[in-house]
Amino acid sequence: MGDLGESLSFIEDNLRVGVVEYKSILGGRGRKAEEQTVQDLRIVELLADILGGEEDEFLKSLYLEQLDSEEVAVFRLSVFQDLLRDEVYGAVKDFVSKIRRCMKLIDLEKDVYEQHKIGFHLDAALIYVEALESFYNSLKALKVGSEGFTQLLNYLQGIVEGAYFRSMKEKAYEARKARDRIKVRVRIAGDEIRVWKYDGGENLSALIEELFSIFKEGEEEEVRYIKTVEETSHVHAAILEGAFHVYRREYEILKKFMEDFPVIVDEGVASFVKEVGFYLTYIEYMRRIGKRGYPFSIPSFTKDGSMHVRGFYNLLLAKSGTVVPNDIDTDGVKRIFVITGMNGGGKTTFAVSLGQLVYLSKLGLPVPATEAKIPFFNSIMTLFPVGEDVGESMSRLEQDVVRALNILKQANSSSLVVANEPFSTTTSDEGFHLAKLFLEELHRKGSFCLLVTFIPRVASLDFVISLVAMPSLEDPGKPSYKILPGSPPSEYTAIRIAARYKLLYNDLMGVLG
């Protein structure tokens, strides 16, 4: 097989020896979330805020995958607990930045002039070696506690103690010394470039830099369409060609390093750098929200169906304004919440906010709340208003009923259903009976449900917990955006508005005589 075959064999043998298998820092993957749920809970908008302007399809796919395993969610949350320590976050961020720089050089290596390839390859190796050793030592000193980082630490130990890495490090430093010995004088006259050994005379680096500057300032057309990559050009390549003739031994050392170590970045390290972006991106998002005074917490998962959430809030509102935090509680015996209360009082926002919180917990992410003790739900389903069917094959009410039936078929004791004013396009009596049948079946299955409605009787069912959107204490005509346990209101804001403008039944009858 020759030299190449021997090199590849050396790589394969030494990548296997002493290196444990890389285990994903994500702990596992999930399944794609229901499209309707993603739409109703406004997850796409939330994801746009989390990712910012970053167009990373891999990261996006992770945020749209719901975990089925509580164990994987706990695994991720434990990784977050390590990364929320500033020193761990800083070490990981620095390592990821260096490895990405290294991988960029390897990628650029394909496009540069042949004379530059060995230099790019060596630079990538030097960055990799120093970054990996530094990160491994930092991680070891920081005493990380999560299973994810413990596994990574063991993996990195296998790499840095492996024969391939140690040999690559030794040879990379030798190649760097050889490159440092290459010092030349250059004379450019017209199309002719002369290169000879630098003999200790006047240092012409500044002059050469000034000469090369014309190739950085948009004047390449004077030299007939010359491509440049990372500020390299045909002039640099020509000088290197001359230097390699003068420093033949040093060139052979550089060339041999590239041939002996064609693989620089370990596949597991590359996977880690790609996957850990999931954590880093979210922590950066948490910090942006945190600057506005809103906290996040690591959720814990209850086994008895109890739910105790303190100070949860809507992330989409928190990014740009003031939001009112709320609480929700149940011991798990009653699992159906019905929200009534004044118009514009924040009922839908409350429901969406809790739905988002549960959604994020199913990704293994810290949640927007001061405290969150919740079940690990195996599914989140939503029943929100939809527009009329364009084809007029089904009315809005029919669509509500069909979706409700589909939910009932799938629901179980680990399901959360978020429903916003279902069955609202019929009479209040019919709407009540439909909502009652729907909630009774969810109750029978032991499912959790949060239902927003304007029908007070629904909140009076004996198996539900009644929550009310409360008016402001200072001005009863305005909402406080606090949702508290209580009985449904005797009248809604609409009644007060009608009374103000004398549009109640008795007022109208008095006018009509």
Q: Which amino acid is at 118?
A: I
Residue 482 phi/psi, 5-degree rounding, is -95, 135
Q: Could you report the per-residue pLDDT of 479-506, keeping only the tens digit for each?
A: 999 999 998 876 554 555 455 555 555 6
Q: How far is C-alpha 86 from the chain's CA centre?
A: 18
pLDDT value of residue 254? 80
> Which parts of the chain sit beneath pLDDT 50?
1-2, 10-11, 13-18, 184-190, 193-198, 214-229, 231-235, 237-245, 493, 497
Sketch the domain layout of the chain as residue ranges: 67-181+265-291, 184-223+231-246, 292-512
Pick the CATH number of 292-512 from 3.40.390.30, 3.30.420.40, 3.40.50.300, 2.40.50.1040: 3.40.50.300
Please answer whether residues 438 and 309 qualify as being in contact, where contact means their C-beta atoms are separated by less than 8 angstroms. Answer: no
What long-range pairs does 394-402 form, CB within 8 A, spacing at least 24?
A: 395/425, 396/425, 397/423, 397/425, 397/426, 400/425, 400/434, 401/434
Q: Look-up: residue for tokens 């970054």?
A: 131
Q: Could you report the per-residue pLDDT of 87-138, keeping only the tens digit for each?
A: 999 999 999 999 999 999 888 777 655 556 777 889 899 999 999 999 999 9
Q: Which residues contact 327 (CB under 8 A, 6 or more apart)?
A: 309, 310, 311, 312
Q: Give me the count of residues in the chain.
A: 513
Please answer whether residues 405 and 422 qualify as being in contact, where contact means their C-beta atoms are separated by less than 8 angstroms. Answer: no
pLDDT value of residue 491? 58
Neighbours of 77 (CB within 10 A): 21
Taking CA atoms, 143 is separated from 102, 132, 138, 150, in Å, by 27, 17, 9, 9
- Within 13 Å, how many C-alpha atoms sit on residue 221's CB side? 2
Q: Which residues contact 127 (CB under 8 A, 6 or more apart)?
A: 98, 99, 101, 102, 105
Beta strand segments in 54-205, E: 65-66, 184-189, 192-197
Neighbours of 327 (CB within 10 A): 16
